[in-house]
Chains A and B, each alone.
Chain A
Amino acid sequence: MHNLTIAELIRGLQSKEFTSVELTQHFLDRIGSLNPAYNAVITVTAEQALKAAAAADQRLAAGNAPALCGVPMLHKDIFCTNGVRTSCGSKMLDNFIPPYNATVVENFEAAGAVVLGKTNMDEFAMGSSNETSFYGPVQNPWDTDCVPGGSSGGSAAAVAARLAPGATATDTGGSIRQPAALCGITGLKPTYGRVSRWGMIAFASSLDQGGPMARTAEDCAIMLSCMASFDDKDSTCIDREVPDYSATLGQDIKGLRIGVPSEYFSEGLDPGTEKAVRAALAELEAQGAELVEISLPNTGLSVPAYYVIAPAEASANLSRFDGVKYGYRCEDPKDLQDLYTRTRAEGFGEEVQRRILIGTYCLSAGYYDAYYGKAQQVRQLIQQDFEKAFASVDVIMGPTCPSPAFKFGSKGDDPVAMYLEDIYTIATNLAGLPGMSVPCGMVDNKPVGLQIIGNYFDEARMLNVAHQYQQVTDWHSAAPEGIL
């Protein structure tokens, strides 16, 4: 059952081939036996899951089942779940039990999905390797000496290891697409404002966006149709109708204009990765798409701009963790200052502290214009690059990341080496555009991701293109050794 896609599971549940309780128990058993090797799931909600599955079975029997009724899912531990510990991968929130659900969690509940548990992640979503989690790193199911990517590494590894057919994730600078690429699954970061951020613990509010992870584009379409909504509680959520993303998957892609940015194929790109991505482009060309060489000249400035804007917003967002209202508090504070400073020094890990300090520096008196103001202007330049490109192409494609999964600890002590991992993904967050990663090949038995960048609110077209690609290739159904 674990090799079936979400679309197949829905059909199986509705035609009574298996029950949701059987399905849920099957995935819980897999988590029990396989998860210790990957550390992808950090909280299992078995009792609640089986209860929800039994309720789903009743609705299925009564014939009034909603879209995802009885389908097991995992949530990234950044989404608040009422009554279930939500840690954001941090010691700071190790004891935090939210009194409410994130809108995304509510949407899946309304669609009848069964929540198996919560997935591991880089602390406060800050990282590209899952090595910053308070709960220890996640192992990549394709090679357990390698990272799964981050920050949604737990969700990506769980889907790759068939511990769940789909998982929610979030992307601030590549945190859905990069782990999806490194774990050989499909993941989509929607347009900024498409998915509600309410109850999604904030990292950098003008960049953060939730999205689905699954094995196929078809499954991502099913998940996104449920996940996306207008939400009054998120002031940056866009009030726009959510299309049925599954309805347009079958369109052919003849005449589709694919922009191929030269900057995404320059030095630093692993040759095997380039070969796989070029082969995917050739495959799409064979299906009738047209490749158009384009330029995104300010690509090189996206990482520097991001490492001003994201830490600046993070330093403000994370100021709420003060040891007073919820979360960790240090032992025996001698006064209020000591309570604040020691709680934060002990509760946050090294990378989170570093980003808070960088953000504080960039926003401090005398530096604001030179750093934050300048970065916001550069952000405008990056957005203009995309605007020009989309005047003549329908989608943009290139590699998701410069190379396949790397070994634990291999990025060394210099934080910048890790930051460059997101060189192809960060620009879309800065512009607010949707992006996805689709498995498109293997290098040394490790997956490679093809990145598809769309225009604003063009998720339906991206999913259609990815689905058409997956009709003629089978990289998305490859499974890591020992998984089947």
Chain B
Amino acid sequence: MSIERHEIEKLATLARIAIDDSTINEVSERLGSVLELVDQLQAADTSGIDAMSHPMQATQRLREDEVTELNQREALQATSPDTEDGLFLVPKVIE
């Protein structure tokens, strides 16, 4: 099983990963091999079975709406590749 070139291109766009043209065939082949593995799921009889999203069937805990974290902008932005005046910098978006 392999995935069509246009599908790989669509996935690459959705996942925001640049895929080099010269490797598309290889990527397609290996993804195909994994999808062949996961396609074994289709044979399972799951009629009437609920989907399981969390092992403990836990529900989201709620808390009082109180401030628990202090602003640490400087410490957090210190790890960024590029900031200025407390803002994250990226290439120009609007012409």
Q: Which residues of A are at the interface with B, using a C-beta cutoff of 8 A?
A: 96-99, 192-193, 206, 232, 235-236, 238, 298, 300-301, 303-305, 307-308, 315, 319, 322-329, 333-342, 344-345, 348, 353-354, 356-358, 360-362, 364, 370-371, 373-381, 383, 413-416, 419, 430-433, 456
Besides A99-B75, A377-B52, A413-B30, 16 other A-B contacts (C-beta < 8 A): A305-B41, A340-B16, A341-B18, A345-B17, A357-B17, A361-B35, A364-B11, A374-B42, A374-B46, A375-B38, A376-B53, A377-B49, A381-B44, A415-B33, A419-B34, A432-B56
CA distance A458 to B46 in the complex (A): 29
CA distance A327 to B46 in the complex (A): 42
Tell whether A376 pairs with B52 under 8 Å between CB atoms, given A304-B38, A336-B91, A381-B46: yes
Instruction: Say yes or no for B40: interface residue by CB 8 A criterion.
Output: yes
Query: Are A235 and B60 in touch, CB under 8 angstroms?
Result: yes
Interface centre among A97, A99, A357 (most CB of B within 10 A): A357
Query: Are B37 and A419 in touch, CB under 8 angstroms?
Result: yes
0/1 interface trace, chain B 68-90, chain A, CB 8 Å (1 if under): 00001001101111100000101
CB-nearest residue of chain B to A93: B79
Query: Are B41 and A374 in touch, CB under 8 angstroms?
Result: yes
Residues of A with C-beta under 8 A to B75: 99
Query: Are B15 and A356 in touch, CB under 8 angstroms?
Result: yes
Query: Are B11 and A414 in touch, CB under 8 angstroms?
Result: no
CB-nearest residue of chain B to A334: B91
CA distance A376 to B51 in the complex (A): 5
Residues of B with C-beta under 8 A to A416: 33-34, 36-37
CA distance A477 to B29 in the complex (A): 44
CA distance A425 to B78 in the complex (A): 39
Interface residues of B in 46-68 (CB under 8 A from A): 46, 49-56, 58, 60-61, 63
Query: Are B12 and A325 in touch, CB under 8 angstroms?
Result: no
Chain B interface residue bracket vs A: 35 or more
CA distance A414 to B17 in the complex (A): 21
Interface residues of B in 1-33 (CB under 8 A from A): 3, 7-8, 10-12, 14-20, 27, 30-31, 33
Residues of B with C-beta under 8 A to A342: 18
Pick from B44, B53, B78, B79: contact of A298, CB under 8 Å: B44
Q: How far is the CB of A336 from chain B (nearest CB, A)?
A: 5
Residues of A with C-beta under 8 A to B63: 232
Query: Are A345 and B79 in touch, CB under 8 angstroms?
Result: no
Offer 21 A-B interface pairs, CB within 8 angstroms, sorted by A: A206-B53, A232-B61, A232-B63, A238-B58, A301-B40, A304-B37, A304-B40, A322-B16, A324-B81, A324-B90, A336-B93, A344-B15, A345-B17, A348-B17, A353-B17, A361-B11, A373-B51, A376-B52, A379-B51, A380-B50, A419-B34
CA distance A192 to B51 in the complex (A): 18
Query: Are A360 and B44 in touch, CB under 8 angstroms?
Result: no
Residues of A with C-beta under 8 A to B30: 354, 413-415
Query: Are B54 and A206 in touch, CB under 8 angstroms?
Result: yes
Pick from A99, A232, A236, A381: contact of B76, CB under 8 Å: A99
Q: How far is the CB of A265 from chain B (nearest CB, A)?
A: 21
Residues of A with C-beta under 8 A to B90: 324, 333, 336, 339
CA distance A431 to B19 in the complex (A): 35
Query: Are A238 and B56 in touch, CB under 8 angstroms?
Result: yes
CA distance A344 to B20 in the complex (A): 12
**Shortest 8 CB-CB distances between A and B: which pairs?**
A432-B55, A376-B51, A377-B46, A326-B79, A341-B18, A329-B81, A345-B18, A380-B52
Tell whether A236 pairs with B79 under 8 Å between CB atoms, given A301-B44, A322-B16: no
Query: Are B11 and A383 in touch, CB under 8 angstroms?
Result: no
Q: How far is the CB of B36 from chain A (nearest CB, A)?
A: 8
Pick from A300, A301, A328, A379: contact of B52, CB under 8 Å: A379
